[in-house]
Amino acid sequence: MKILQLVTKRQFRGAELSAFHLSAKLIECGHEIVWVGVYPLVNDTLDLPGAFQEDLPGNKKSFFNLRKALALKKIIISQGVDVIQANGAETIKYAVAASLLGAPKPIVYRNISQVGFWLKGATVRKMFSRFLLSKAKQIISVGDASKKDMISTFPAFENKTIVINRGVPVKPLNKTEASSNLKARYGLSADTKVLLWAGAFSKEKNIGMLLEIMKQPNLAKAPVVLIMAGRGVLFEEIKNIVEEEFNGKIILVGYQKNLETFYAGADLFLLTSHIEGVPGVILEAAVQHTPSVSVNVGGVDEVIIQRQTGIIVNEYDAKIFAKEVIDLLANAELCMDMGNKAFALVKDKFDEEKNTRKFVEVYQKLMQKK
């Protein structure tokens, strides 16, 4: 089979990395991949060895660009694509447009988040999304919470909405070595506890709560540092606050191409988002035997077993969250046990081989129905 994997940008971030790892496994299984980004990147493009790779023309983001749709149609026809997988909301409109313009192929939509959150109160956008999703032959949600939200928002699509967990590459590093290297890199003492957050500096990630957590007396006075990896629209604003108010307690490291060393070097991963599907960052931390403390959002309870593989905080309360963090940091044996159990959960439930086979079965069924 030849599968076109359409992503917003070929970048080292959540949905794109998930599609990248799936595509790499599909290539290993003997399938062909057409790896396409809707918007090009200037630097650090996520290249996929063994795949045909291209970005659609035009850097400027807009509601719709006919030139991009026509370029995608040309790729679909010239490459002999069998199935299109649209990964995320920005991609499906171009997959559908290319189909309507003369390149009709089965479309699989990968539902990575919670559409109800993004479409709340947006009647026109909801109608448009309903139209686009009606053209998808299959909707694959990353977890049960995403599936429930999709069906709640669009009940008509219940029969074609399923769950396939993402496959996560399991390549753990030496945690002791990674911790020493990370502390040396940022001039931290050996007894410093390292918290990690990684993601886009955007409103829905609720970074303000992270800052409030670090201001709580039990954390402010302890030898604890928060490393924040990523960039985004709020980066400069957060940077100014950090420089003025936190005196080295928070370290902004910007965009990091490879986060494995950070996950492995950290003691805990933190998540405070307002919106998530199944958070890949928690899974990636677990691969490195690092447990997470997270607010109860989206499909978090699908990747954290309460007080076994991590801790779920049911309220958006910085004080409660900080207490859970400091209590866990004070119990090194429990922290290690949670990290080991988190690793075991990822290895079992999010196995790459098993979940890749499920995607292949979907593609094959859709091709048989053509």
Residue 258's pLDDT is: 85
State phi, psi for 310 to the nearest 5 degrees.
165, -170
Residue 73: is its pLDDT beyond 90?
A: yes
What the chain holds in terms of domains, given with CATH numbers, is: 2-167+351-369 (3.40.50.2000), 175-349 (3.40.50.2000)
Candidate from 92-101, 109-118, 127-136, 237-246 with smallest mean pLDDT = 109-118
Residue 39: pLDDT band with limits 50, 70, 90? very high
Residue 238's pLDDT is: 97
Residue 53's pLDDT is: 97
Pairwise CA distance, residues 88 & 90, whole Å: 6
With beta carbons less than 8 A apart as the criterion, state whether 173 and 181 touch: no
What is this structure's pTM? 0.88
Q: Model confidence over 301-324: pLDDT tens digits? A: 999 999 999 999 999 999 999 999
pLDDT mean over 126-144: 95
Residue 26: pLDDT band with limits 50, 70, 90? very high
Phi-psi region of 170 (alpha: psi -120 to 50; beta: other; left: phi over 0): beta
For every residue of 320-358, DSSP letters joined together read HHHHHHHHHHT-HHHHHHHHHHHHHHHHHHT-HHHHHHH
Pair of tokens at residue 48: 């996929």
**% of the chain beyond a pLDDT of 70:** 100
Pairwise CA distance, residues 64 & 21, whole Å: 28
With beta carbons less than 8 A apart as the criterion, state whether 277 and 140 touch: no
Q: Read off the DSSP letter of residue 166.
A: P
Helices (H), 29-158: 66-79, 89-100, 115-119, 123-134, 144-153
Q: Model confidence over 314-367: pLDDT tens digits? A: 999 999 999 999 999 999 999 999 999 999 999 999 999 999 999 999 999 999
Q: Model confidence over 76-85: pLDDT tens digits? A: 999 999 999 9
Pairwise CA distance, residues 335 & 292, whole Å: 10
Residue 370: is its pLDDT beyond 70?
A: no
Residue 147: pLDDT band with limits 50, 70, 90? very high
Residue 44: is its pLDDT beyond 90?
A: no
CA neighbor of 208 nearest in space, from 225, 192, 223, 228:
228
Residue 99: is its pLDDT beyond 70?
A: yes
pLDDT mean over 97-110: 97
Q: Model confidence over 174-198: pLDDT tens digits? A: 999 999 999 999 999 999 999 999 9
Q: Model confidence over 108-128: pLDDT tens digits? A: 999 988 887 778 777 898 999
pLDDT mean over 6-20: 91
Angle between helices 123-134 and 89-100 (to 10 degrees): 60
